[in-house]
Chain A
Amino acid sequence: MYWTDTGTWSPFGELRSLQREMNRLFDGYDGGTSISRFPALNVWGNSDQVVVNAELPGLQIEDIDLNVVNNQLTIKGERKSDKPAEDAVCHRNERGVGSFVRTVRLPFAVENDKVSAKYEDGVLSIVLPRQEATKPKRIEIKAS
Chain B
Amino acid sequence: MKENKEKNLEKAGSDKAEPTRDAKVFVPATDIYEKDDAILVRCDMPGVAQDRIDIRLDNAELEISGTQAAASPEGVDLLMGEYETGVFRRRFSIPQQVDREKIRARLHNGVLDIELPKAEQAKPRKIEITTGG
Whole-angstrom distance between the alpha carbons of A100 and B2 in the complex?
9
Whole-angstrom distance between the alpha carbons of A94 and B111 in the complex?
13
Q: How many chain A residues have a CB neighbour from B under 8 Å?
A: 46
Q: Looking at the complex, which one of B32, B72, B80 makes contact with A90 (CB distance below 8 Å)?
A: B32
Q: How many chain B residues have a CB neighbour from A under 8 Å?
A: 40
With contacts A42-B82, A43-B79 known, is A122 near B30, CB below 8 A? no
Q: Which residues of B contact A60 (CB under 8 A)?
A: 109
Does the CB pair B29–A94 fall under 8 Å?
A: yes
With contacts A58-B111, A94-B31 known, is A121 near B46, CB below 8 A? yes
Q: Which residues of B contact A88 (CB under 8 A)?
A: 33-35, 40
Does the CB pair A44–B79 fall under 8 Å?
A: yes
Residue of B3, B32, B36, B110 with most partner-chain A CB within 10 A: B110
Which residue of chain A is the closest to B52 with respect to CB atoms? A121
Does the CB pair B32–A46 fall under 8 Å?
A: no
Does the CB pair A96–B3 fall under 8 Å?
A: yes
Question: Which A residues contact B (CB, under 8 angstroms)?
Answer: 36-46, 49-51, 53, 55-60, 79, 82-85, 87-98, 100, 104, 107, 119, 121-123, 125
